[in-house]
């Protein structure tokens, strides 16, 4: 079974993208979030912000996690 990059709706702060990246690369999600925030601040916000929004629409939601429709709305 190959690894797949997915968003994690149960383990999210904004969209679950950092949690998905952390799971995919098998590192701590806090480290990924700190790296993303640092890159976001150092890049002038626009490039990384745009990539983050694009990732939200491109990355599939993790189907193996147990979540309800109310988790998606939050």
SS3 of residue 33 by DSSP: helix
Alpha helices in 8-73 (DSSP H): 17-25, 29-42, 46-58, 69-73
- Tell me the Cα Rg of the chain: 13
Q: 49 is in which domain, residue-wise? A: 17-59
- Note whether residue 7 is domain-resident: no
The mean predicted confidence, pLDDT, of the chain is 84
61 has a pLDDT exceeding 80: yes
C-alpha–C-alpha distance, residues 3 and 68, integer Å = 24
On whether residue 42 sits in a domain, the answer given is: yes
29 within a domain of the structure (yes/no): yes
pLDDT at 22: 93
Tokens matching residue 1: 């079974």
pLDDT at 72: 44
Q: Is the pLDDT of residue 12 over 90?
A: no
Tell me the mean pLDDT in the region 39-65. Answer: 88
Domain contains 6: no
Q: Does 9 map to a domain?
A: no
29 vs 74, more confident: 29
Task: Count structural domains, the chain.
Answer: 1
Show the tokens assigned to 15: 């969209």
């Amino acid at each position: 079974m190959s690894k797949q990059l997915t968003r994690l709706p149960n383990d999210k702060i904004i969209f679950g993208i950092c949690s998905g990246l952390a799971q995919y690369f098998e590192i701590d999600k806090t480290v990924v979030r700190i790296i993303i925030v640092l890159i976001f601040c150092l890049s002038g916000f626009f490039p990384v912000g745009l990539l983050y929004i694009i990732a939200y629409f491109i990355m599939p939601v993790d189907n193996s996690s147990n979540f309800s429709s109310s988790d998606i709305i939050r």
